[in-house]
Amino acid sequence: MISKKTPLLVSLVIPTYNSSKFLKECLDSVINQTYKNIEIIVVDNNSIDATKSIAKQYTKKVYNQGPERSAQVNYGVSKAKGKYVYKIDSDFLLEKDVVEQAVKKANEGFDAVIVHNTPDHTKSWIAKIRKFEVDMYKYDITHSSARFVDKKVFEAIGGFNESITAGEDYDFQNKLNRAGYKTGFIEAEAIHLGEPTNIWKHMIKYYKYGKDFVNYQKANKEETPKQLGFVRGVYIKNWKKFLTNPILGIGFITYNLFKYLFGGVGFLNGKLS
């Protein structure tokens, strides 16, 4: 009798903080994956809403750890039993074959796999503009980052840098690149449900990100100009999108002017403080 090999275990690590709005949709998309040999690890940061009670309906592995996402993910990985670990933010919905495609790509010899995160354009006009931009980054390693990775590789590069709270995904990918690990892409996507609906609050977030990017720049001096620059090669590569979608193109340029203004002020403030 020929025995079939048990599929490799994949540990899905989900950091949460007051995440009850979208967590059920996220976890439903996880348990409905075509790849079934998974474990779900939720690491919460002292939520005061129903986050923990929702999470416990799906997994016994619900922990409390802070102070930020990077520390939460690192803690979750330390509890993981899987061959691979996959960081999923709590407001993302996975297409049904994301994990299956990622495992297949890893079996082709890749140490890490990039799952494209695309905005849910139905949430707001800001989300439409963000999708116009973000979808240009699919298959572009300069502006993408792996969240699915061999656990041993994750540990070898020290996981996420816990001093970086803005740009931690970029920093993680940069560490993979510097160490010579091989990163692949898959077609299946994760859809961001928690898109911004209030432009002012969104810009305040970029101001705070700007302050935090001081730490990112210290650790990524060579990569910062390419990854955070206003004019990026990927925009030029996709110049036809601007011609075929002129309204979105103008909205994108306007949006980015404000984003860089608020982020730049925050960055300068962070440098001076």
pLDDT surpasses 80 at 271: yes
CB of 9 within 8 A of CB of 37? yes
- Per-residue pLDDT at 4: 59
Whether the upstream peptide bond of residue 119 has omega within 30° of 0, thus cis, is no
Radius of gyration of the chain (CA): 19
Contacts of 141 (CB under 8 A, 6+ apart): 114, 173, 177, 183
- Per-residue pLDDT at 3: 40
Task: State the DSSP code for 108.
Answer: T
pLDDT surpasses 50 at 1: no
CB of 235 within 8 A of CB of 190? no
Task: State the DSSP code for 229.
Answer: -
- Orientation of helix 246-272 relative to helix 199-219, angle to 10°: 60
pLDDT surpasses 50 at 16: yes
Adjacent-strand bridge partners of 192: 92, 119
- Per-residue pLDDT at 2: 41
DSSP 159-178: SS-TT--SSHHHHHHHHHHH
- Orientation of helix 168-178 relative to helix 199-219, angle to 10°: 30
- Structure tokens given for 124: 């707001």
pLDDT for 209-220, tens place per residue? Answer: 998 888 888 899
Adjacent-strand bridge partners of 63: 43
pLDDT for 52-80, tens place per residue? Answer: 999 999 999 999 998 999 999 999 999 99
Contacts of 232 (CB under 8 A, 6+ apart): 142, 143, 226
The confidence band for 174, taking pLDDT boundaries of 50, 70 and 90, is very high
- Structure tokens given for 7: 């599929």
Q: Which domains does the chain have, with CATH numbers?
A: 10-197 (3.90.550.10)
CB of 88 within 8 A of CB of 26? yes
pLDDT for 92-101, tens place per residue? Answer: 999 999 999 9
pLDDT surpasses 50 at 222: yes
pTM passes above 0.85: yes
CB of 22 within 8 A of CB of 193? yes
- Structure tokens given for 213: 């990017």
- Structure tokens given for 18: 């007051």
Phi, psi of 19 (to 5 degrees): -105, 15
Mean pLDDT over the full length of the chain: 94
